[in-house]
């Protein structure tokens, strides 16, 4: 997915939320209005207790984090990578926030309600301010959303707002059209400030997940006054980031980005005095960490062995389930995978433990379901059959794919089997392992079809050229079950490639989207997921892990770490609780 979280090298980036036909522009006399009677939706409050400012000390509390990858932009509406978003979510805040489990918390808005099943109102906190002390209003959020949708900007994620009325028509409009025509389309979008403190959202269809979308960067209120003077380069200057999050930029340089507490953040002061972000390559990052020059670094398959072999580093290694799943996709329109019996047998034949060990260097866990652990919607009872070589062979024999004496599989009945992959060294190793695994279990030949890497993504996206068997991976764009299940609705991005369509799944998924009670919605999403999982359209392989080295003196993150933390543990939920035990820091730690 558009680099939101670092992709596995063996998989192509998979883009979702595809655009549909343009929606009509409403006429001036059908301006939507909010109902005057609103049934309030329960709002989850922010954590109780206001963090106290760091005590004055001769030694500042500094959290030094290695990103590994340098941000290409710090413009909220143009940001796309995990490193960019991890920084921006400290400096800006959406209408809502998310905790480590993906539950919605109050953010810039302290309450909201669905005034109808397709009409939503957000009420901003009284006295909300930007970092420079100026007032922050609902109009600022309207401008942020509409900047995301402006076709002239070319933002990477306008499709996240597809459910808002006329959003699709706005961002798919000709960017070369007359300015007044573009502005007319943007004015028609169903996201409008009703007054300084209230933002209205009009939806095309009921969508409980819009409360989650309201926490995302596409709505971060960058200061339009700062952007106007330098529209393409404004974000390079710290003073131009007049944000509303718990921190503010104080330094943006080629080698480091530094943040300090925002004195006007409504939630109180952080416990640390400064956050510093660096981007040092794997081997050098481990050395810097050893020398006390970094406090948190991400561990990758390339350096996990070094961390595990070191007696001290192994004690500081943190591993968390990641919100990324890879599975072996079957083309349901091509034999033999049009037969569910074959799909079941393949799921039983896969040694997932061996694949995780060999392909991910152990940085992952076998996966038998779709939504992974740690993500809202995970259901340990919704699983495909796991590895059992004997059962896999027996499934085919019982399904009519055996010799007359049913003592072995008849490979002619099974037909030609071919695994397609992007031709990279890592993918070659993985698919050779897969082919060997299946050949041992079924005693039938399995061919490999390597595809030139630059052509692979286009090859698998076109249903006309979709291979018989290939890998699919998904990393969530936002922590909500809708962002996992929409892919497999009839006509969805993955469903189209797999040739999958189950109307019962679609009906269950739609019912879940329209349920406004959070607990009831979760149960309905899990029911929909079971339908898809039981159809065995793919054989789930693994979910990745986010791994870090974290110094023992870094505090306040452990209880707030979650599956969405791709840059540092606790990045979504712990900005105000991060702390440094200065009594435990050692050589290399900043002296001031």
Q: 459, 578, 519, 531: which is closest to 14 by C-alpha?
A: 459
Whether 21 has a pLDDT exceeding 70, the answer reads: no
Whether 524 has a pLDDT exceeding 90, the answer reads: yes
Residue 23 CA to residue 339 CA, distance in Å, equals 39
Q: What is residue 543's predicted lDDT score, i.e. its pLDDT?
A: 96
Q: Where are the domains of the chain?
A: 1-12+51-92+225-316+551-592, 98-221, 322-545
Confidence class for position 563, pLDDT limits 50, 70, 90: very high
DSSP secondary structure code for residue 96 in this structure: E
How far is CA 116 from each of CA 105, 119, 205, 344, 432, rounded to the nearest angstrom? 21, 5, 11, 43, 54
Whether 513 has a pLDDT exceeding 80, the answer reads: yes
Residue 287 CA to residue 282 CA, distance in Å, equals 9
Whether 41 has a pLDDT exceeding 80, the answer reads: no
Q: What is residue 53's predicted lDDT score, i.e. its pLDDT?
A: 47
Other beta carbons within 10 angstroms of residue 417's beta carbon come to 20
Q: What is residue 520's predicted lDDT score, i.e. its pLDDT?
A: 97
CATH of region 1-12+51-92+225-316+551-592, choose from 3.40.50.1820, 3.40.190.10, 3.30.930.10, 3.90.440.10: 3.40.190.10
Q: 207, 204, 208, 237: which is closest to 223 by C-alpha?
A: 237
CATH number corresponding to 98-221: 3.90.76.10
How far is CA 74 from each of CA 80, 83, 90, 125, 257, rounded to the nearest angstrom? 10, 10, 12, 26, 11
8 A C-beta contact, residue 367 and residue 304: no
User: Where do the H-state alpha helices sit in 189-339?
Assistant: 210-213, 224-229, 282-290, 304-309, 311-315
Asked if the 322-545 domain carries CATH number 3.30.1490.20, the reply is no
What pLDDT, in 10s, does the model give residues 120-170? 999 999 999 999 999 999 999 999 999 999 999 999 999 999 999 999 999
Q: What is residue 30's predicted lDDT score, i.e. its pLDDT?
A: 33
Q: What is residue 463's predicted lDDT score, i.e. its pLDDT?
A: 80
Q: What is residue 15's predicted lDDT score, i.e. its pLDDT?
A: 30
Structure-block tokens of residue 511: 């019912």
Confidence class for position 283, pLDDT limits 50, 70, 90: confident
Q: What is the mean pLDDT of residues 390-414?
A: 96
pTM for the model stands at 0.88
Q: What is residue 20's predicted lDDT score, i.e. its pLDDT?
A: 34
Q: What is residue 462's predicted lDDT score, i.e. its pLDDT?
A: 84
What pLDDT, in 10s, does the model give residues 299-355? 988 889 999 999 999 999 999 999 999 999 999 999 999 999 999 999 999 999 999
Cβ neighbours of residue 167 closer than 8 Å, sequence gap 6 or more: 149, 158, 161, 189, 190, 191
Q: What is residue 6's predicted lDDT score, i.e. its pLDDT?
A: 34
Whether 28 has a pLDDT exceeding 80, the answer reads: no
What pLDDT, in 10s, does the model give residues 112-121? 999 999 999 9
Whether 56 has a pLDDT exceeding 50, the answer reads: no
Residue 341 CA to residue 395 CA, distance in Å, equals 7
Give the chain's mean pLDDT: 90
Q: What is the mean pLDDT of residues 55-76?
A: 87
What pLDDT, in 10s, does the model give residues 548-562? 999 999 999 999 999
Q: What is the mean pLDDT of residues 372-377?
A: 94
Residues found in the chain: 592
DSSP secondary structure code for residue 181 in this structure: H
Whether 23 has a pLDDT exceeding 60, the answer reads: no
1-12+51-92+225-316+551-592 and 322-545: identical CATH topology: no
What pLDDT, in 10s, does the model give residues 235-271? 999 999 999 999 999 999 999 999 999 999 999 999 9
Whether 19 has a pLDDT exceeding 50, the answer reads: no
Identify the residue with better confidence: 201 or 37.
201
Q: 115, 114, 120, 118: which is closest to 203 by C-alpha?
A: 118
Q: What is residue 58's predicted lDDT score, i.e. its pLDDT?
A: 67
Whether 375 has a pLDDT exceeding 70, the answer reads: yes
Residue 416 CA to residue 408 CA, distance in Å, equals 17
Whether 473 has a pLDDT exceeding 90, the answer reads: yes
Structure-block tokens of residue 574: 């712990």
Other beta carbons within 10 angstroms of residue 48's beta carbon come to 5
Residue 217 CA to residue 224 CA, distance in Å, equals 15
Helix, coil or strand: residue 345: helix
Residue 591 CA to residue 62 CA, distance in Å, equals 10
Residue 332 CA to residue 335 CA, distance in Å, equals 7
Containing 457, the helix (H) or strand (E) segment is helix 453-461
Confidence class for position 486, pLDDT limits 50, 70, 90: very high
**Parallel, antiparallel, or unpaired: how do β-strands 62-66 and 274-278 relate?**
parallel
Whether 5 has a pLDDT exceeding 70, the answer reads: no
Q: What is the mean pLDDT of residues 38-50?
A: 39
């Amino acid at each position: 997915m558009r680099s939101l979280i670092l992709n596995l090298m063996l998989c192509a980036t998979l883009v979702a939320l595809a655009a549909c036909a343009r929606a009509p522009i409403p006429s001036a006399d059908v301006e939507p209005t909010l109902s005057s009677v609103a049934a309030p939706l329960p709002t989850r409050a922010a954590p109780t207790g206001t963090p106290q400012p760091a005590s004055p000390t001769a030694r500042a509390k500094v959290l030094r984090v290695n990103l590994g990858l340098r941000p290409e932009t710090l413009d909220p509406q143009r940001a796309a990578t995990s490193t960019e978003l991890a920084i921006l979510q400290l400096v800006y805040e959406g209408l809502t926030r998310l905790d480590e489990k993906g539950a919605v918390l109050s953010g810039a808005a302290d309450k909201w309600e669905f005034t109808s099943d397709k009409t939503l109102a957000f009420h901003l906190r009284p006295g909300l301010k930007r970092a420079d002390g100026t007032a922050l209003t609902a109009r600022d959020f309207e401008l942020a959303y509409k900047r995301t949708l402006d076709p002239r900007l070319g933002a990477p994620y306008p499709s996240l707002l597809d459910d808002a009325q006329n959003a699709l028509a706005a961002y798919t409009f000709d960017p070369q059209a007359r300015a007044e025509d573009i502005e007319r389309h943007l004015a028609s979008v169903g996201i409008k400030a009703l007054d300084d403190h209230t933002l209205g959202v009009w939806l095309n269809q009921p969508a409980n997940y819009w409360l989650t979308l309201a926490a995302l960067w596409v709505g971060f209120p960058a200061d339009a006054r700062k952007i106007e003077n330098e529209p393409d380069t404004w974000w390079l200057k710290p003073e131009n980031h007049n944000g509303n999050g718990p921190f503010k930029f104080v330094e943006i340089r080629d080698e480091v980005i530094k943040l300090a507490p925002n004195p006007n953040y409504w939630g109180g002061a952080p416990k640390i005095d400064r956050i510093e972000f660096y981007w040092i390559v794997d081997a050098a990052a481990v050395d810097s960490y050893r020398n006390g020059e970094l406090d948190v670094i991400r561990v990758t398959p390339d350096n996990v062995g070094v961390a595990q072999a070191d007696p001290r580093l192994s004690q500081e290694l943190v591993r968390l389930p990641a919100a990324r799943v890879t599975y072996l996709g079957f083309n349901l329109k091509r034999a033999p995978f049009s037969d569910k019996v074959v799909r079941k047998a393949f799921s039983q034949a896969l040694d997932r433990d061996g694949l995780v060990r060999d392909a991910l260097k152990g940085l992952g866990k076998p996966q038998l379901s779709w939504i992974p652990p740690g993500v809202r919607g995970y259901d340990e009872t919704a699983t495909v059959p796991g590895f059992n070589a004997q059962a896999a062979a027996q499934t085919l024999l019982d399904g009519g794919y055996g010799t007359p004496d049913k003592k072995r599989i008849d490979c002619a009945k099974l037909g030609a089997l071919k695994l397609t992959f992007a031709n990279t060294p890592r993918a070659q190793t993985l698919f050779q392992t897969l082919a060997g695994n299946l050949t041992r279990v079924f005693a039938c030949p399995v061919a490999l079809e390597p595809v030139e890497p630059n052509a692979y993504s286009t090859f698998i996206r076109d249903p006309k050229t979709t291979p018989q068997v290939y890998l699919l991976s998904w990393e969530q764009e936002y922590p909500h079950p809708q962002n996992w299940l929409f892919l497999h609705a009839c006509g969805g991005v993955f469903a189209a490639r797999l040739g999958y369509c189950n109307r019962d799944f679609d009906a269950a998924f739609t019912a879940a989207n329209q349920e406004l009670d959070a607990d009831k919605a979760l149960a309905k999403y899990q029911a929909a997921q079971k339908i898809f999982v039981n159809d065995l359209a793919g054989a789930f392989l693994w979910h990745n892990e986010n791994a870090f080295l974290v110094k023992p003196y870094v505090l306040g993150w452990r209880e707030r770490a979650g599956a969405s933390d791709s840059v540092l543990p606790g990045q979504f939920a712990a900005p105000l609780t991060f702390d440094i035990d200065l009594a435990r820091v050692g050589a290399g730690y900043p002296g001031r």
